[in-house]
Amino acid sequence: MSLPARKLIDPAWRKPPVSVICPFIPKDLQGLLPGLPEGTITEISGARSSGRTTLLQAGLAAATAAGELCAVIDGSDAFDPSSATTAGVRLDRLLWVQCRHNVRDTLKAADLILHGGGFRLVVLDLCDLPLVELQRVPSAWWHRLRLTVENTPAVLLVASTTPVLRQAAAIQVELGEASAHWPGTLLNSVDLRVRLRKPAQSAQPSATLRARAI
């Protein structure tokens, strides 16, 4: 089943409680992807070109289209407003914080924004930051973020190359190498290989999701 990337996450997620990432995907995938529950942290990890940006932009597009305020804490200054707009993200509903590859500043920015409130979806992009530095971050920092977002309507979506949040993340989704489909000269669709690392009790630990190019 194919679907536009901008519809991977349904705007209905903004109405609590959040239970599924998208009602348009096959039911077996709904069982795999538990969604973006408010008041918790969801961590999406994967190598470059694994589909991280597709999922992040899908969430931002759905949230901003619903009129919600969102924030992107961009650790490595990799956010591309042009491609985000193409994916359906409304930039007038988005706060973009550039952290210039500084791990400490990235975490401080996330802490300040979450404590300030007012943002329904906060994306913390840790991709391309030095893994050695991220692994040195004390667990207390991640738990501080977890407690800050807890019991609020906000969703904290963390993107990383390798899982780093340990027990602080309620949901951990790992993306494998994506496969692009080029039936002609234009990109037709991309298969995202998805594995649920947490919660571990999922009956289906992995699946493939096809996202149609926009």
Range 40-55 average pLDDT: 86
| Domain span including residue 109 | 2-212
Output the pLDDT for position 36.
Answer: 76
Output the pLDDT for position 179.
Answer: 54
Output the pLDDT for position 47.
Answer: 87
Is 103 in a helix, a strand, or coil? helix
Is 134 in a helix, a strand, or coil? helix
Task: Count how many domains the chain has.
Answer: 1
Range 168-188 average pLDDT: 67
Tell me the DSSP string of 55-96: HHHHHHHHHHHTT--EEEEETTS---HHHHHHTT--GGGEEE
pLDDT at 85 over 90: yes
The model's pLDDT over 98-123, given as tens digits with 9 standing for 90+, comes to 999 999 999 999 999 999 999 999 99
Q: How many CB atoms lie within 10 A of CB 118?
A: 10
pLDDT at 80 over 70: yes
Residue 32 tokens, joined: 């795999």
Tell me which of 40-44, 48-52, 196-200 is least confident.
196-200
Q: What is the CATH number of the domain that holds 157?
A: 3.40.50.300
Output the pLDDT for position 197.
Answer: 76
Residue 207 CA, chain-centre distance (Å), reads 17
% of the chain residues with pLDDT over 70: 69
